[in-house]
Every structure is written in structure tokens, then in C-alpha cells.
Amino acid sequence: MKMITCIAPINMAVIKYWGKRDEELILPINDSISASLSTDVMCAKTTIVTSALLKENKFWLNGQEQSFDSPRLTNCLRAIKKRADEKLPHLHWNISICSENNFPTAAGLASSAAGYACLVYALAQLYNIEGEISNIARQGSGSACRSIYGGWVRWHKGNSPVGEDSLAKQIVPADHWPEMRLLVLVVNDTKKKYSSAKGMAITTLTSSLIKYRANEIVPRRIEAMEQAILNKNFQSFAELTMKDSNSMHACCLDSFPPIAYMNEVSHSIIQLVHLYNDYKKELTVAYTVDAGPNTCIYLLESEVEDFLSIVNFVFPNNVDDNEYYRGLKLPSIRPLDESIVKDLNLSANKEGLLKYIIYTKVGEGPRVLDDSKEHLLQDDGLPKHF
């Protein structure tokens, strides 16, 4: 019997992956860049057990048994096993997988990225595989390849038709830009209508704008973004981040039928960011939105207090603070200055448009949890809480 438990981070893209050139192998039409986010705040956790006594392969996600036959899971498992030493006795035993996300699944918070990065990383440990595994995680979910590394990561789209060069590389580690923080403004954490996979398939098939984005816009923008990160140039980073998010959502709206992931709340957060940056006379906060209405704000630690007091004024809530503010410890949140309310002509929305706010930072890649108390499975391959 062998058992392994790992955790892996979600990541938040600043240059977005949107569109595939190969659906089955999950090969993208453009490079993308993201930051992996602290596993202390949000992570997927996966335990795998393999034993000669297991009668069949099993998979549980967030306490619910799932089919083991999903093509994405099968592809990852096949690709990993191909890299393992044929003589490993346990390579031919069945496996039990149990995974949990400590944040909402399939709600536009990159659960598939953390989930498949964790699965592939854990499988690689189980079968003693060394070296590049991001191109295997990619076959679970494209963005998962970036979660194989910590810090700032670039997914190179590659040119090979079979995808061996479509892999992620770390640009710089997590401690390169230690002041960088993220506020995830959770607008809606229910399951969305179009998964990223479905949405980007419609865009790739029907949008003419996406071709211009992939061939002209992103190739230029990606190099500028890499430089902005290397030089810790927040002005350039913020401009590129916001423009790229807008570009992805413009392509979604250019799809036929159009896909609208953002809602009115996302749009009013975006307007607020622009208003705030104009007021500060420089770009001090940057928004980015994935395939859902939740809006993520990249900002430096020194800006968190000011920006959050504005967000709280514009989006009042009556939720208990311990429930509303999640993640890292926030600086004290103070009421907004009357003068700013006047200068910016701010008005408060009705209560409850934001469900909660996650405060986090750039973090490390996947890792093994050695403590046996962390395992989600028992020796017999069944979940502990079954």
C-alpha cells in the first residue's frame, strides 16, 4: 500500500489563456501569465492510495464520488504512467483519489487549475516521476499547468502538434515581488452557466476578434508583462493586466452567441478601480476577471487599506467580519473620509452585492504533506469521513 497527500495553489492570470488549437490535448492559441496564490489561503488537497487489494479505481471530489472515466482524468493518468518505470510493482495496482478544495468549485475561482495540478503532482510523487510535469497537468485543465510552479509563471503555448513543448515555466519565484497582494471580490459563488472549456470553444469557433488577440495582441503584451514583472513596474503591470482582462471579455462578447461572464457588479467594480486610479493620478490597483463575475484586484500591500475602505463604502454588507473577510490578516479597516466620498462623488449600493472578500498573496507551488493526519483516505482506499 502506498499513500500520498499533496496541496496545490490556484493561480490568477494577468495575461489570459482563452482559446484552444487542440481540444483533446488542451493546446492553447496564445501564451499566458499568472501568479500562483498562497496555499495558506486557497488550495486543492488530494490524497491518493494505491494497493494490490483495491478492486477498482475510485475518485471523490469534495465528498462526492465522481466517475473515474472522465477523459481529462484518464489522459493525465495515462500520460503519467507512460513516464513511470514499468518495473514499479504498484504501477499496475488500482488507485483511490480523494480531493477537496477549501473554496467554491467551478465558480470561476480556478478550482480546475489547483485540482489538476494537485492530482498530477501527487501522481508524479506516487510513481517517482522526476522532471517536467506541467505538460501533463495541462491535459487535465489548461490553466493547471501554471499551478505546477509557484511565483509568476508563463505558459508557453508551444508549436508541436502533440504538445510536448506546451508547458509552464517559472518567470520569478514568489518572493520576487513580496509586496504584491490580491483581493478577490466574490460576487457570486454558484456554478456558472458556461464552463471555461465550453466558453472558449464557442469563442474560438465564432469570434473573429480572438484571432487578432491571439496573433497580434498577446504576443506583444506577454513580453511587456514579463518585463513589468521582472522590473516590478506596477504601472505597466496594472495597465497590461486590466487591458488583457478587457480583451478576453471583449472576445467573449464577440462570440456567437455572446458570452457575458461579468455582471453589473463586476462592471461597477471595474469603474470604481478606474475612478480610484484617476483620483490617485497613477495606477495603484488593477482588476482582472476570469470566466465568471468575481473580480480580482492586484495591488501592493500599501494600497490595501485605502482601497478596501472605498470598496466597503460602495458595497456595504451586513455579514459578520469573520465570515466576510477571508484569508490573510487585513490591516484595520477604517471608515472612508468624507472628503474622498465628495471628491469621487461616491454613492453606496444596496447591501449584499459582494458575498465575501478573499485577501491573499503570491505563493509557492504544490507540495507534499508529510503528516499522516492530513490524509483524506484510509488504508482501504475509502474516504476518512465516509
Ligand X SMILES: Nc1ncnc2c1ncn2[C@@H]1O[C@H](COP(=O)(O)OP(=O)(O)OP(=O)(O)O)[C@@H](O)[C@H]1O
Ligand Y SMILES: C[C@@](O)(CCOP(=O)(O)OP(=O)(O)O)CC(=O)O
Is there a contact between 39 and 110 (Cβ–Cβ < 8 Å)? no
Is there a contact between 52 and 93 (Cβ–Cβ < 8 Å)? yes
Long-range residue pairs from 208-212, CB within 8 A, at least 24 positions apart, any chain: 208/254, 209/250, 209/251, 209/254, 210/18, 210/19, 210/29, 210/251, 210/254
d(CA 373, CA 369): 9
State the nearest-atom distance from the C-beta of 278 to ligand Y, in Å: 27
354: burial class by Cβ within 10 Å (0-12, 13-18, 19+)? buried
Q: Does 196 bind ligand Y (CB under 6 A)?
A: yes
Q: Which grid coordinates belong to 119?
A: 492530482
Q: Does 110 bind ligand X (CB under 6 A)?
A: yes
Closest residue by Cα to residue 60 from 46, 76, 71: 46
Q: Does 141 bind ligand Y (CB under 6 A)?
A: yes
The one among 25, 26, 37, 44 contacting ligand X by CB under 6 A? 44
The one among 3, 17, 194, 293 contacting ligand Y by CB under 6 A? 17
The one among 5, 32, 99, 135 contacting ligand Y by CB under 6 A? 32
Of residues 146 and 375, the one with the C-beta less far from ligand Y: 146
Q: Cα 10 from chain centroid?
A: 4
Piece of the chain touching ligand Y by CB under 6 A; list 10-18, 164-172, 320-328, 358-366: 10-18
Of residues 290 and 303, the one with the C-beta less far from ligand Y: 290
Task: From the list ligand Y, ligand X, none, pick the one residue 13 interacts with, judged by a Cβ distance below 5 to 8 Å according to partner type.
Answer: ligand Y
Piece of the chain touching ligand X by CB under 6 A; list 103-111, 130-138, 334-342, 368-376: 103-111
d(CA 287, CA 274): 9
Piece of the chain touching ligand X by CB under 6 A; list 110-118, 207-215, 313-321, 365-373: 110-118
What 8-state DSSP symbol labels residue 142? G
Of residues 32 and 47, the one with the C-beta less far from ligand Y: 32
The one among 3, 4, 7, 13 contacting ligand Y by CB under 6 A? 13
Given the rule CB under 6 A, which residues bind ligand Y? 13, 16-17, 26, 32, 112-113, 141-143, 196-197, 290-291
